[in-house]
Amino acid sequence: MSSILITGVSSGIGEALAGRFADAGWNVIGTVRNTAKQPVDAWRGRVRLEALDLATPGAGAALAERVLSTHGCPDVVVNNAGSLQWGPVEFASAEEIEGLFRVNVFEQIEILKELLPAMRERGSGVIVNVTSLGGRMVFPFFSIYNASKHAFEGFSEGLWHELKPFGIRVKVVEPGFVETAIWGKTMQDGAGATKPGPEPYRSYMASMADFERAITKRTSPAKAAQEVYAAVMDESDRLRYPIAAYARPILRARRVFGDQFMLRFFHRRWLDRPRAR
């Protein structure tokens, strides 16, 4: 029976993906920050949980060591866990920037570094790194988050070359807009209002928040998970898989019209007319 390790299964795409592979009869290992909280009742006995807090230095390597000793080397690894950051670059502290890169890049690389020798010796495996539409383009006030996803994209492309001779396939999944709570948690305060943001960016951040709220056509986590499942099962050497709402048309438009055109187009749409305060 095939096995899969999925990080970040407590909600969203990760939660739906764990259920999808469990339904298909796979041995599923999922990570959550607190293993005492079982995310989905239907998982009981079908998804084995491991604790993982990517914000902790060394957590990625420690998880991989536990997985190897307890479950053996998984056939598929899906680096799905991640964190979001919203705000102007000049107001982000060095600690916040480093913390975001630790969660979205550094510790996920450490997981793979520990697992790769066993996968390489076996001569097979699939690695799926979940980045974002923001791993191919940049949204205002998500600059640091997008930079971390760009970094993971570059890492993945290099890994594709390094591991192809050993029969290991590397895939990058780039979700567009998915129905998850992460946007609201990042951009809203406890009362559900948009976080005001610092001056002199406040009106521009409000304009960007209005744009985000206006996006009502989003892909459900279950549908996005099905697209990830299809990417895992694809036996080709394809690297990138844009999924979910708007990802494919936006990236297609960028290829057709060019980077500079798209920069100007989206800037006019997002920030040329900031909302009055």
pLDDT bracket for residue 276 (50, 70, 90): low
The question of whether 241 is a catalytic residue gets the answer no
The mean of the pLDDT values for the chain is: 92
Q: In this predicted model, what pLDDT tens digit does every residue of 74-119 receive, in sequence order?
A: 999 999 999 999 999 999 999 999 999 999 999 999 999 999 999 9
Domain ranges of the chain: 3-179+219-253
Q: Indicate whether 249 pLDDT > 60.
A: yes
Question: Which long-range contacts does 52-58 make (Cβ < 8 Å, 24+ apart)?
Answer: 52/7, 52/81, 54/7, 54/81, 54/83, 54/102, 54/103, 54/107, 54/108, 55/83, 55/99, 55/102, 55/103, 56/107, 57/102, 57/107, 58/110
Q: In this predicted model, what pLDDT tens digit does every residue of 169-199 receive, in sequence order?
A: 999 999 999 998 765 666 666 656 667 788 8
Q: Indicate whether 13 pLDDT > 90.
A: yes
Annotated catalytic residue within 145, 201, 204, 241: 145
- What superfamily does domain 3-179+219-253 belong to in CATH? NAD(P)-binding Rossmann-like Domain (3.40.50.720)
Average pLDDT, stretch 188-211? 79
